[in-house]
Amino acid sequence: MKLATLKNNTRDGQLVVVSKDLTRYCSADNIAPTLQAALDDWAQCAPKLAALYRDVEHQVVPCERFHEHDAHSPLPRAYQWADGSAYINHVELVRKARGAEVPESFYNDPLMYQGGSDAFLAPRDPIPLGDPKWGCDMEGEVAVITDDVPAGISERDAAKHIKLVMLVNDVSLRGLIPGELAKGFGFFQSKPPSAFSPVCVTPDELGDAWKDNLIHLPLIVDYNGEAFGRANAGADATFSLAKLVSHAAKTRPLCAGSIIGSGTVSNQDENGGAGKPVNEGGLGYSCIAEIRMIETIRDGEAKTPFMVAGDTVKVEMLDREGQSIFGAIDQTVEGV
Amino acid sequence: MKLATLKNNTRDGQLVVVSKDLTRYCSADNIAPTLQAALDDWAQCAPKLAALYRDVEHQVVPCERFHEHDAHSPLPRAYQWADGSAYINHVELVRKARGAEVPESFYNDPLMYQGGSDAFLAPRDPIPLGDPKWGCDMEGEVAVITDDVPAGISERDAAKHIKLVMLVNDVSLRGLIPGELAKGFGFFQSKPPSAFSPVCVTPDELGDAWKDNLIHLPLIVDYNGEAFGRANAGADATFSLAKLVSHAAKTRPLCAGSIIGSGTVSNQDENGGAGKPVNEGGLGYSCIAEIRMIETIRDGEAKTPFMVAGDTVKVEMLDREGQSIFGAIDQTVEGV
């Protein structure tokens, strides 16, 4: 099934069931008022939501026209947002640009940071930017929402707790990252609010594209209207999304509604090298930092600037019939 | 006023108003069902809660007996928990033990990490410990709860957004910290769920002990029934709690119900040296790591082990009349 949260002037919005083709919706108010409420009681709510989804698909319930720009992020605020780094190519690129090795442990112990989850952006909201020097970047990623996950769970059992899947633009302020990481406590000011796709879906909606707890489809990232990234989220993943859930739950349980991210989707070239830009026949990048690394490695200096007011980023994923699965994150940077 | 959240078999518990002496409570259900709901609409709810508090104090509303062990953490789960490091003595001690300098920037740019906020422990809950080698430690701290805080706010204006104050035991797994910080993304597995005091209070409840956005009272930390820490939370603070709120909000707004922590309360000796243990006439420590550092500096090796199953920690603060302000966090480590 497909779910969304419509803006309704409340903090948590209104839960709706959306048709597979994203054209219609029906309120889920009589099942759960919000997505968090549904996740809090998922075993009871999920079958009812699935039944309503069947009715929406068969057009046997009254539906309204679904407009992606009316949607908030599926969880407008969440109790947890933890972002991993499944695509080690991204990490290798960052390190290569500054001549550093990737520690061996990174290949079996995922990187993960605790992100701010108290106030996400809606998928069509502007990205507010206080200072262009902060180096605003997008990061196109996949994310999952879990139900309650017990502490110490295995990767295999963690897979059963992945209830919903969506896309994310993990906004990053690259100019603030070096100073903040040097302090040793991880990201904070360098990770302003992220935005999620207008629609989240149960893994079964992905058909055989959902395999080994990854989505085997290209993540479409367009920057200022041009193709920027087409990396396949099923390729070059060192860790599955289930592994990341298991990593997050090693020493503590995860509350229903926890969002776990994949990290920036990133593919190597066919020959195992760092990927080429889309306009040179490559799969491109899901963030600006990567193309800047490629430029630094190749030309000695980064040429592509970070985002400034007016720049636009679109993140989307199409099924094998070319239909948008999650709707599009489509944001414009706005000076504040 | 004083507020608490009683366990009632729901995820967010029941909001109650507690008498100043912590003996009685009255349900706030007709004002807001949960503390988060009250914070979501604080401007409307706060005056009503304050009026109910006056009625509780004057015994003109029916009250029940308040038992601290019935209380959950004031916010059993929150949309944000960000922990600062106001007491640089703690940071200096950690660094001194390993022969490292404290960077000059630490004296004007607070350290802060994004903590997990999806499932806190109740103040009398056991601390589950999966492996003694993880090096379980307590950290006694002060924390504030904010209403909605706009991005980019000054320290001065941030002070107005501090709505409630409480204590916290920020449980840390010291054995996992070096490996995790070496990865560069900050704490994650090394910070399992924290517990907060049974009661949170508005700053005016602290009288003149609330000054410059700090609590000028000793934080009482008892370990296995013996005095372990008596550091004054108003002394040796490099940053005020308002400064920490302002730091958290530099690049993003904070949602109502955000919890910002002070970091481990830590005092220097009168002569400016690292503090002495309580049984040697000093003010002691609010975490085991500090006494281990003192032992390392003084004796060449740490002698006090980290907590194992059966160890108990109590964190409390008394007003100048010797009355408990927030009730006590009182936890026993439990092997799981």
- Inform me whether the C-beta atom of residue A71 falls under 8 Å from chain B C-beta atoms: no
- Inform me whether the C-beta atom of residue B287 falls under 8 Å from chain A C-beta atoms: no
Chain A's closest residue to B118, CA to CA, is: A79
* pLDDT at residue number B43: 98
Mean pLDDT taken over chain B: 95
Tokens in use for B233? Answer: 């939370």
Are B128 and A151 inside 8 Å of each other by CB? yes
Taking one residue from A and the other from B, the number of pairs with CB-CB distance under 8 angstroms is 136
Mean pLDDT of B13-26: 98
Mean pLDDT of A135-157: 98
Inform me whether the pLDDT recorded for A55 exceeds 80: yes
Inform me whether the pLDDT recorded for A270 exceeds 80: no
Mean pLDDT of A106-130: 96
- Inform me whether the C-beta atom of residue B37 falls under 8 Å from chain A C-beta atoms: no
- Among A22-36, A222-236, A260-274, B241-255, the range scoring the smallest mean pLDDT is A260-274
Read off the pLDDT of residues B263-296 as tens digits, 9 standing for 90 and up.
999 998 877 777 889 999 999 999 999 999 889 8
- Inform me whether the C-beta atom of residue A130 falls under 8 Å from chain B C-beta atoms: yes
* pLDDT at residue number B93: 78
Confidence of residue B99 (pLDDT cuts 50, 70, 90): confident
- Inform me whether the C-beta atom of residue A78 falls under 8 Å from chain B C-beta atoms: yes
State pTM to two decimals. Answer: 0.97
Q: Which of residues 175-214 of B touch A (CB under 8 A)?
A: 176, 181, 183-193
- Inform me whether the C-beta atom of residue B255 falls under 8 Å from chain A C-beta atoms: yes
Inform me whether the pLDDT recorded for A274 exceeds 80: no
- Inform me whether the C-beta atom of residue A38 falls under 8 Å from chain B C-beta atoms: no
Distance CA(B134)–CA(A82), nearest Å, equals: 21
Chain A's closest residue to B176, CA to CA, is: A251
Which residues of chain B make contact with A243, given a CB cutoff of 8 A?
Answer: none
Read off the pLDDT of residues A294-336 as tens digits, 9 standing for 90 and up.
898 889 999 999 999 999 999 999 999 999 999 999 999 999 9
Q: Which of A40, A115, A254 lies closest to B11 in CB terms?
A: A40
- The full 3-state SS of chain A, as one line of letters, equals CEEEEECCCCCCCEEEEECCCCCEEEECCCCCCCHHHHHHCHHHHHHHHHHHHHHHHCCCCCCEECCHHHEECCCCCCCCEEEECCCHHHHHHHHHHCCCCCCHHHHCCCCEEEECCCCCECCCCCEEECCHHHCEECCEEEEEEECCECCCCCHHHHHHHEEEEEEEECCEEHHHHHHHHHCCCCCCCCCCCCEECCEEECHHHHHHHEECCEECCECEEEECCEEEECCECCCCCCCCHHHHHHHHCCCCCECCCCEEECCCCCCECCCCCECCCHHHCCCECCCHHHHHHHHHHHHCCCCCCCECCCCEEEEECECCCCCECCCCEEEEEEEC
- Inform me whether the C-beta atom of residue A117 falls under 8 Å from chain B C-beta atoms: yes
Chain B's closest residue to A246, CA to CA, is: B189
Top residue of A120, A161, A243, A251 to mutate, by most chain B CBs within 10 Å, is A251
Distance CA(B134)–CA(B305), nearest Å, equals: 12
Residue B267 CA to chain centroid, in angstroms?
16
Mean pLDDT of B26-54: 98
Inform me whether the pLDDT recorded for B11 exceeds 90: yes
Q: How far is CA A234 from CA A107, A215, A265, B301, in A?
A: 17, 5, 9, 49
B97 within 8 A of B31, measured Cβ to Cβ: no
Distance CA(A172)–CA(A140), nearest Å, equals: 11
Element spanning B137, H or E = strand B136-137
- Inform me whether the C-beta atom of residue B150 falls under 8 Å from chain A C-beta atoms: no
Read off the pLDDT of residues A83-97 as tens digits, 9 standing for 90 and up.
999 998 888 877 776
What is the percentage of chain B residues whose pLDDT exceeds 70?
99
